[in-house]
Amino acid sequence: MKIHFYKYQGAGNDFILVDNRNNAVNHHNPELIARLCDRRFGIGGDGMMFLQNIAGYDFEMVYYNSDGQPSSMCGNGGRCIVAFAKHLGVFDSETNFLAVDGPHYAKISAEGDWVSLQMIDVDTVNRDQDAYVINTGSPHYIAFAENLRDKNVYEEGYAIRNNDTYRKEGININFVEPTAEGYFVRTFERGVEDETYACGTGVTAVALAMAKHNNQSGHITTPVKVLGGDLNIRFDYDGLKFTNIFLEGPAKKVFEGEVEV
């Protein structure tokens, strides 16, 4: 059979998207997902998503990492599927959809390429020595770094992700360096098992960790630069709980096509 697909990217985090509202594609096939995400033998992508109907919401987001396995929440993937749903005419400017970590609200610009995605509330921030560990829909390890542009993120991220503490469940490793405007972040993602150009739940986790680290509270806006561009995180923090968390950034269609499977 042939699958009609769309390719989207959000700050360089790229995804294969399929309109599966007719349930024509049985996507419980890790080998197929991994092959389609392969950058040499498939379409190529950090992950693959299926937009499906579900009662009570505009749509459901079903996400797989590039290794073909079901994944926890993907923030940039969430922004891209919102732009995709807008393209399909599923909603106009605001939407409520269901993802693996629960309901999400999102708003898209009139131009259709800037998405503000509400993330889950966070009330737990843990420490692993000098690093912060936060779950923003996916688990994240946040460590300070110097000369981050020159760091071997793959090597160091791989080592932390596969140490005795995190090997079994896996964790995403974020290295953060303060800048004049905000922060520069590079991320090693589990499931992709490599550095990606951006990680939405990762930059969200970094923004929350930095607010706690700097003893900030109130309404906070945090600009973050990643390899793929610029993202923005805004939220409220009362010293105990992070609420009204929004991940904001670009989400753009790259191309569409058909693939034989």
pLDDT of residue 124: 97
37 flagged as catalytic? no
| One domain for residues 196 and 172 | yes
Residues 6+ apart with CB under 8 A from 23: 52
Confidence label for 166 from pLDDT (cuts 50, 70 and 90): very high
The per-residue pLDDT for range 191-246, each reduced to its tens digit, is 999 999 999 999 999 999 999 999 999 999 999 999 999 999 999 999 999 999 99
| Residue of 49, 199, 211, 224 marked active site | 199
| One domain for residues 100 and 153 | no
74 flagged as catalytic? yes
CATH for 48 = 3.10.310.10
Quote the CA–CA distance of 131 and 184 in Å, as a whole number.
16
| One domain for residues 196 and 141 | yes
pLDDT of residue 129: 96
Side chain identity, residue 5: F
Its sign, for the CA torsion 142, 202, 226, 16, is positive
| One domain for residues 156 and 109 | no
| One domain for residues 24 and 84 | yes
Confidence label for 42 from pLDDT (cuts 50, 70 and 90): very high
For 63, the domain range is 2-119+251-260
| Residue of 36, 62, 74, 245 marked active site | 74
| One domain for residues 166 and 115 | no
Find out whether 253 and 9 touch, Cβ atoms under 8 Å. Answer: no
> Domain count of the chain?
2
